[in-house]
Chains A and B, each alone.
Chain A
Amino acid sequence: MKKKKQTERPKYNMLQNTAYIIGLSWKVRKSVVFICLATAGVAVATNLVELFFAPVVLGKVEVAAKFKDLVVAILVFAAALMVLAALKAYIEQNTRPGRSRVNQHMLKMVNRKAFVTSYPNVENPSSLNMFERAVRTVIYDYASVGAVWDILAKLSENIVGLIVYVMILSTLDPILMAVTTLTTVLAFVLTRRIYNWGFLHREEKSGYNRRMTYACQRGSDVALAKDIRIFRMRPWLEEFYQEAMRQFKAFALRRETIYIRADFLDIVLLLLRNGFAYAYLITMALKEGLPASEFLLYFTALNGFSTWISGILTNVLMLHRTSLEISVVREFLELSEPFLFEEGKPVTKDRLGAYEIQLKDVSYRYPGAQKDTIHNLNLTIRPGEKLAVVGLNGAGKTTLVKLICGFLDPTEGTVLLNGEDIRQFNRREYYELFSAVFQQFSTLEITLAENVAQSIDEIDMERVKQCIEKAGLTERVARMPKGYDTYIGRKVYEDGVELSGGETQRLMLARALYKDGKVIVLDEPTAALDPVAENDIYLKYNEMTAGRTSVYISHRLASTRFCDRIIFLAEGQITEEGTHESLMRLDGKYADLFRVQSKYYQEGGAADEA
């Protein structure tokens, strides 16, 4: 509840956010500020020259001034316009790069925060939502930094313009300015209210948009491409798209029939304003003999005056909207960290591998869940021990791993490293203790060697080669065009190499080995491997984990044979514990599971049962 209120009211107001962007731009690229000032200056100057051009020249024609005067006046004005236009065009071409750099700087800040923030933050929908909004704000050059500077340039232009026009019009009856101001403000406020329909119906709109995007993008999914052809899914997809498009079109028509009211309103108010201006100025001309050129000047100035006012209103509104988004970016950057990092206690790295991890009365419940995923669990992983965690899908194995590795903090109880609560440590240093392969593994589109070493500059090539050898990838690397310098994946570098699922899993293993953490955590590391490769990993397991603590998670019970201790997890608790032999003797759930799995492997057996 509290959180919701926070998102409704932005933490920073419009002025603070504007100042923030100005400050940031000043830091990253000073030219951005100067370009904005120049843009505004040129715009104001252009406007004034344009305003006076026609009336001054017409005045000369009207009073039949000297030929030379007329020509000089035209040439001066034209030259001024030319210089200003050239400046404007040149500045425009050079506006985007600087702003884009500031944007990129913000994107980097947002990404860094997303990369290093405490893990629970990236599992929390509300902070994820904040992240998504923040990214969307900073990836488009025109959305945040660009928008603020555009608005600032326009605002200064409008304000200076307004002041000048007030001076020009001050000789006239103030009622003219009053009527113009009133109709302009009224038009602005009332049309905003009409256009608010779009804002109120934005969810509906994005619903259609999501559907159409989904339908249009299915074709690029290579895996789905097979299913589409085998099961002849095209008509189904087509119907889905057409239905969404039909609804979206109906939505658009509904919206436009409402928006047209804003146009009607504008037309009526403009009619009133112009009617009043004509009435006043023509009366003035008839009664006081106002020359036609001055009539033109005042009439143009009144319209300009109205433009400045609505310009100011529009830009303030836009600045307000942009500010909301910038506030989200800043709030995301300042998102509080439940974990300690640099300010935490350093992890002592003295004794080699002598780390004991203890879970004490640990319970974990996902936010909003009805029951604990891990419930009152006690477990001590002794230094150098090889522990296997087995259990069915949904038993809580992955959550347990996340608790051990310090990605989640228990809802109740504590996780201790050598007797000390891990919450007080620098969490990044704590992660350094682990070499892990998770179920959701990922490669980066960087070179093979960099993927193994997870570093760009300090790569120990000898060690990379050893780890690749241990993971059984040497032969594959030999076939790569640039060996260890080959890029992995083809999303970024066209000469990259795509790895198969099994090869990627081996690469993940090599990466874990290179890191040489004191605790090895392997979560289903052989799922994508064939039997021989799987067996190969099993056989190397002892070698790989020599002198280290290891935790092996699997539902393939074969893997448990070479572990010192097996814990059987069910419904978030350890229900059975022991060695393979002792668990088989116990004849409980573990033994059941083992029998189910081994049934088809028994000589002679199962064939006829199936």
Chain B
Amino acid sequence: MKHKNQDKISVITVLKMHWRAFKLLDREAPLMFLGSFLHESMNALTPYVNVYFSALIINELAGDRNPEKLWKLVLITLIANAVAALIKAGAKCFKNWKHEGGWWQREKIYGDKLLSLDYCDVDDQRTHNLRSQVSQNDNLSQWGLYRIKIFFDQLTLSVFKIIGAVALSVSLFTLKVPEGAGVFTVLNHPLFLLGMVLALLCVTWLAPACSTKAGSYWVKTAEDMKQRNRISYFFGEEVSRDRNRDLDMRMYSQQDICERYYDTADIFGKKTAIVKAAAGPMGAWSALSAVFSTLLTGIIYLFVCLKAWAGAFGVGSVTQYIASVTALAQGLAMLLKNLGEMRNNAEFLKITYEYLDIPNKMYQGSLTTEKRVDRDYEVEFRDVSFKYPNTDTYALRHVSMKFKIGQRLAIVGMNGSGKTTFIKLLCRLYDPTEGEILLNGINIRKYQYDEYMSIFSVVFQDFKLLALPLGENVACSKDYDREKVTECLIKAGFGEKLKKMQDGIDTYLYKEFSNTGVSVSGGEAQIIAIARALYHDAPFMILDEPTAALDPIAEAEVYARFNEIASDKTTIYISHRLSSCRFCDEILVFDNGRIVQQGNHDTLVAVEDGKYHQLWHAQAQYYQK
């Protein structure tokens, strides 16, 4: 991080990065930037209407005082102001409409990335660290992607401010001090004009440069703040909001520990870098920046008033020139400040793009898995070994096996023996480190990813349902075959509960989005997940600990339905409850990432020094008389 900061990003790159941010948001939120453009340009221009017309009034007052002309001017001023304000109001209405929802449109860009990533990258902590860093930058100090909106607003505003100001102040330089003013005719010299422009540029460059310098302390302390924020978020917000911690919190009096850890975050503590900077250099640079912008006010007053005093123009014009040159300076300052901040923001955008550009590394083939009516899919593991990314130990070693079509396969083993990893490789959530997996004799990498996935229906141990209607959850789609959904629910054993549901399969699960939503228990959710797997009717059906949340009676029901659930599919069943092995044709026993035994229950249980025997008896002893 430090290192990267040191080599500055070139201006072209900074602009390119922001152009990309612009395009990204523009695609997600069409017309948003048009809204900004309309509103901000009106914001910049409307004040000039008043400046221009009221200067005319004051000039008239300081000059001829012609009543008829004065009243006419007043009327025009009032009408012009009102019309400008009306247009601005219309633009504001349009902008607010188009801008609403922007926060989520940005979230959507981030969320979509996670949805399209290879699973192994979703499962990688670094991806999530990156993601949360992006969010933190976005939400805490508004750096990153969304900043382009602020930049666009401010750049539009400043550009139009400058245009208006130049239009109203040109005459300041063209109107000459009359020849009779003696020594003051020197004010007519073009060098004065040049000097004025230089002073303007110098000061409008210095002021924002100082404020950018002040802002850079946030960038410098970002790394330090990041860790502080993580501590403060977990111990300050997450723990107290997590209702699953309530019992442990009280039983183990954890409040003091949490408070002690929270205090170590020490955000804005007296000794933290950012607080020291604010009291020292950061505050000083800000103050200096403010001095430079006001210095300009002094110079403008001096120049304009001297010219007026020498007789170049009237008093009313003084107000106009002062207002417009001040606005010119403000416009320029704002322009430069934002350009400077774009450079700071580029550092944050780099992180954003690092996240958005995580590549999909998995090789994607083009073969289709022909939809075979006979479900004749043969899958084979050939000497497969696997290490999780960034780990040194193998989770699977030299696994070779072949699925027999229509077979019921049980996988047993201790925690961490590689059972779930085996499933993840089978479904190609990960690619093997060594060896290959074949479908009908061809490496699975050569198939189209989605097509290959579609031959599996899986109920994972940590499956998830969404807080949407029951039917949609089973079908994983908004439109679905209602009869088939009902049928699958009944088959999975949800029939009784379904009858009691008021809106049937249209009932919302959980209460997030509907007050009449039903909070299903862990066991019921598991049954819905089984129905979901049934609905997708894939040739391979994989159940990972599908009865963990069920009580013995409900578990026995699932067992009893197993035949119906499995029907003609190739079924893989993972369970700690070895009783389930009894109705499977074949059992794979995993130990330390290897398949150590394979066979049916009776053969395996007979091998007395085998792993299966050990597992079986650990459990069965309590149930046998």
Contacts and interface: CB of A to CB of B under 8 A. Distances in A.
A392 B78 CA distance: 80
Nearest to B234: A492
Interface string A518-534: 00000000011111111
Contacts of B267: 100, 104
B257 A446 contact: yes
A442 B74 contact: no
A111 B261 CA distance: 13
Interface stretch (A291-299, A358-366, A375-383, A461-469): A291-299
A274 B283 CA distance: 40
A226 B247 contact: no
A112 B259 contact: yes
Interface in B473-510: 476-478
Contacts of B578: 531, 601
B293 interface: yes
B258 interface: yes
A606 B250 CA distance: 46
A216 interface: yes
B607 to A, nearest CB: 15
B241 A230 contact: no
B463 A67 contact: no
A62 B453 contact: no
A285 B214 CA distance: 48
Given A58-B315, A271-B78, A492-B234, A88 B290 contact: yes
Interface in A205-232: 207, 209-232
Given A115-B254, A392-B551, A61 B315 contact: yes
B197 interface: no
A436 B251 contact: yes
Interface in B88-105: 88-90, 92-94, 96-97, 100-101, 104-105
A165 interface: no
B6 interface: no
Given A256-B97, A271-B82, A93 B240 contact: no
A456 B260 contact: yes
Interface in B37-63: 54, 57-58, 61-62
Interface stretch (A5-13, A234-242, A414-422): A234-242
B521 interface: yes
A529 B104 contact: no
B309 A61 contact: yes
A177 interface: no
Contacts of B234: 445, 491-492
Given A445-B234, A558-B619, A90 B286 contact: yes
A323 to B, nearest CB: 23
Contacts of B105: 245
B262 interface: yes
A274 B622 contact: no
B89 A264 contact: yes
B415 A93 contact: no
A607 B107 CA distance: 52
Given A393-B523, A531-B576, A446 B472 contact: no
Contact of B478 (A240, A245, A252, A559): A240
A257 B92 CA distance: 11
A236 B97 CA distance: 26
Given A97-B275, A112-B255, A216-B107, A607 B89 contact: no
A436 B252 CA distance: 9
Given A212-B104, A438-B248, A115 B240 contact: yes
Describe A's contact surface by its main secondary structure.
helix
Interface in A459-515: 490-494, 498, 500-503, 511, 515
A270 interface: yes
Contact of B101 (A110, A223, A249, A436): A249
Contacts of A594: 623
B10 interface: no
A248 interface: yes
Contacts of A57: 301, 305, 318
Interface stretch (A19-27, A75-83, A179-187): A75-83
Contact of B414 (A87, A237, A532): A532
Interface in B189-219: 214
Interface in B305-324: 305-306, 308-309, 315-316, 318-319, 322
Interface in A259-317: 259-260, 263-264, 266-267, 270-271, 274-275, 278-279, 282, 285-286, 291-293, 295-296, 299
B516 to A, nearest CB: 14
B161 interface: no
Contacts of B582: 600, 606-607, 610
A34 B177 CA distance: 50
A557 B552 contact: yes
B287 A529 contact: no
Given A275-B78, A597-B552, A597-B623, A227 B460 contact: yes
Contact of B413 (A93, A235, A236, A530): A530
A54 interface: yes
B290 to A, nearest CB: 4
Contact of B85 (A231, A235, A270, A602): A270
B551 A58 contact: no
A219 B484 CA distance: 28
Interface in B572-613: 576, 578-580, 582-583, 601
A405 interface: yes
A74 to B, nearest CB: 5
B115 A211 contact: no
Nearest to B289: A89
B448 interface: no
A599 interface: yes
A90 B618 contact: no
Interface in B217-270: 230-232, 234-262, 267-269
Interface in B546-581: 548, 550-556, 559-560, 562-563, 576, 578-580
B301 A607 contact: no
Contacts of A240: 468, 478
Given A90-B284, A393-B551, A444-B254, A85 B293 contact: yes
B429 A210 contact: no
Listed from nearest, the 7 A-B pairs whose CB atoms lie closest are A78-B298, A600-B579, A219-B114, A598-B623, A558-B622, A263-B89, A252-B100
29 contacts: A71-B302, A81-B297, A86-B288, A101-B268, A210-B512, A210-B513, A213-B104, A219-B111, A230-B457, A249-B101, A252-B100, A256-B97, A259-B96, A271-B82, A292-B58, A292-B315, A431-B250, A431-B253, A442-B245, A444-B257, A445-B234, A445-B261, A450-B257, A493-B230, A515-B252, A528-B415, A530-B417, A531-B615, A555-B552
Given A561-B622, A600-B579, 15 more contacts: A67-B309, A78-B297, A85-B293, A104-B268, A212-B108, A216-B108, A226-B119, A227-B460, A263-B92, A285-B61, A393-B521, A441-B248, A445-B235, A456-B260, A607-B601
